[in-house]
Structure 1
Amino acid sequence: MTLVEEFPGVRVRAPGKINVFLEVGARQDDGYHDLATAFQAVSLYEDLVASHADGFTLSVTGSVDTTGVPVDDTNLALRAARLLATETGYDGGVHLDIRKEVPVAGGMGGGSADAAAALVACDALWGTGLSSRELHTLAARLGADVPFALAGGTAVGTGRGDALNPALARGRFEWVLVANPDGLSTPKVYAELDRLREEHAAQIPPAPETPSVSADVLHALRAGDPRMLAEVLHNDLQAAALRLRPDLGAVLDLGVREGALAGIVSGSGPTLAFLVETRQEGYGLLQRLERAGHDAFQAHGPVHGARIA
């Protein structure tokens, strides 16, 4: 019996991400914002198995609460599979079985990781043979974070976040992450940022015309120095997320008091990311946060992007 006969599907693993830096430009006429971000892929993974089927179907389980994950055609992974089939002329279907580890609606790109995994898995399952560049092009049509989930590692994203340039990151960065069962809507967080900028135009700088990643962030990543990176973590969406969810601010303060070098809202939230110096220190922080009643877990980065497992 061949391996294909034993296991007639393709398993792909794709990572979640943290935005260690995020600068957001002004709202454009189409409602979107240009941005500049430094992504780091971290060791919380989405596992996806693609199997031959007549139609396009999906099942979802996970170590995190998956009750809010759609299993119809609004799911980004199913959209990715359908897009690949349309673009390559494939006339069959697929069943996607996803096991989630990245918090849902948590600002860590779990849905984007699912979509990236679906592209890689279906390409292999169907033998469509797309190049990395062609997969990246399809990924960019699905969402700004999907190309990074394909690439992994550490990268600078510009435009809508889908124009990627790899960034050198030495060593390993240790993170403690705090999930929250009540997700935050990314469009609502961006809308709140626009309101904050309008309401406080006299007190805060205007939105940058051309967002860019701070050179200090790139230097800290190149140096592999968590203390240096802690000094320059930044997220333009953080103030908006905290205005919508003031309870998150208390958790950020707690994490720093309990030993984190720094804490930041991950993407549009509500997941919080705490940078620590060592894995052992991270474990201690995790225990203290759990004793305070929070759902915490450890991760490290950078890690590889979507690949066949």
Structure 2
Amino acid sequence: MTITVRAAAKINLHLGVGRVRDDGFHPLDTVYQAVSLYDDVAVSVADADVLSVEAPPYIDVEGVPADGTNIAMRALAEAACGERHLVQIGKQIPVAGGMAGGSADGAAALLAHDRLHDLRQPDDALLAQAARLGSDVPFSLVGGTARGRGRGEVVEPIEDHGSWWWVAVPSDVGLSTPAVYRHFDELFPDAPEQPAEPRELLAALASREPVRLARALHNDLQEPAIDLRPELGTLIERGESEGALRGLVSGSGPTCVFLCDSQEGAMAVVAGLSESYDVVLPAVGPVAGAHVLP
């Protein structure tokens, strides 16, 4: 028996970052949105733990661990049922791209394991396991649009009836999340203890107005990411010149995302950026969190 779970990429519509804490984490106040780029994780019982990863040519999977350090395998270890498993990951979410592809895999593996062994754990139990795996993993279970606090792992769903069209442009070279946070600390040694709250962003979501949402998008990690990789700033300028309402570094980067006014607007931006960039991906949000495929 094999259980396959689909989990979505995320975009941070708002990412407020506070001063680094004594435990090495930064306090966050963020608004996540799940968008229609997916990883599929298939889990079955096996004689030994085995992991395989497949992806389209635009995704370099060489940086994806193929052993017990992979987050999907760590998720199964967290579940601790004593069985061995075959895990097959089909990736569409960029690797090391700031879109939580690894977190999606971890969330998908947790849910697949639960359903494979008919555990039917309550949501709170799965979310607690997810939080131990990483800050973005609980959101990957929840999906939709949600506010994340703490280090991002305390997730509260947000009612969002909008249909938001995005264009994502991944990079063929990843960008280390710890390196971006370190550079944030260097650039902003006097960052506030508590991060900026997303008041205007939440109001913009409720309005369902793309122009208002575009104005409210915010990412405290964008400046350090662009300082480390100036070409990201060039890409954002280009996307906006092609008609996007607003360009933004996704999370810690290096993927850049562009909010558009409609599906037609997104496809026009895709066409314009495709003249200069090899991989340009349309997506819509919000979409569901991790879920079992038929």
* CA displacement, residues 203-253 of structure 1 (integer Å, 9 cap, x when unaligned): xxx422222432110011112211101001110000000011011110000
Distance of aligned partners of 1:212 and 1:196 in 2 relative to their CA distance in 1, 3 Å threshold? closer
Q: Would the aligned equivalents of 2:168 and 2:255 in 1 still touch at CA under 8 Å?
A: yes
Residue number in structure 1 paired with 2:181: 190
TM-score of the superposed pair, with normalisation by structure 1:
0.92
1:62 aligned to 2:55? yes
TM-score scaled by length of structure 2: 0.97
Secondary structure, in 3 states, of the residue corresponding to 2:254? Answer: coil
8 Å contact kept, 1:169–1:223: no
For structure 2, the 5+ residue unaligned runs are none
1:24 pairs, out of 3, 12, 17, with 17
More displaced 10-residue stretch of structure 1: 54-63 or 298-307: 54-63
Residue from 77, 83, 97 that aligns with 1:82: 77
Aligned identity (percent) is 47
C-alpha separation in 2, matches of 1:137 and 1:189: 27
Shift in Å, 1:294? 4.0
Instruction: Please state how far the C-alpha of 1:129 moved relative to its aligned partner.
Output: 2.4
- The CA distance in 1 between the partners of 2:274 and 2:61, in whole Å, is 21
Match of 1:262 among 246, 251, 259: 246
Cα distance in 1 for partners of 2:48, 2:122 equals: 25
Deviations for 1:133-168, whole angstroms, at most 9, x for unmatched residues? Answer: 100000000000000000000000001001111112
Matched, 1:73 2:68: yes
Q: Aligned equivalents of 1:294 and 1:170: distance in 2?
A: 32
| Number of positions where the alignment pairs a residue of Structure 1 with one of Structure 2 | 291
2:192 and 2:287 map into 1 onto residues whose CA distance is 30
Q: Is the 8 A contact 1:276 1:282 kept in 2?
A: yes
Q: Deviations over 1:160-209 (max 9, x none)?
A: 001111112122000000010100000000000000113xxxxxxx4222
- Aligned partners of 1:170 and 1:223 also within 8 Å: no
> 2:257 — aligned with what?
273
Rounded Cα–Cα distance in structure 2 between residues aligned with 1:293 and 1:210: 37
Shift of 1:48: 0.8
In the aligned structure 2, how far is the partner of 1:9 from the partner of 1:223? Answer: 42
Counterpart residue number, 1:151: 142
RMSD across aligned positions (CA): 1.0
Distance apart, 1:281 and its partner CA: 1.0
Choose 1 or 2 for highest CA Rg: 1
In 2: Cα distance, 1:298 partner to 1:292 partner: 16
Confirm or deny: 8 A CA contact 1:258 1:288 kept in the other structure.
yes
| 1:9 to 2:14 alignment | no
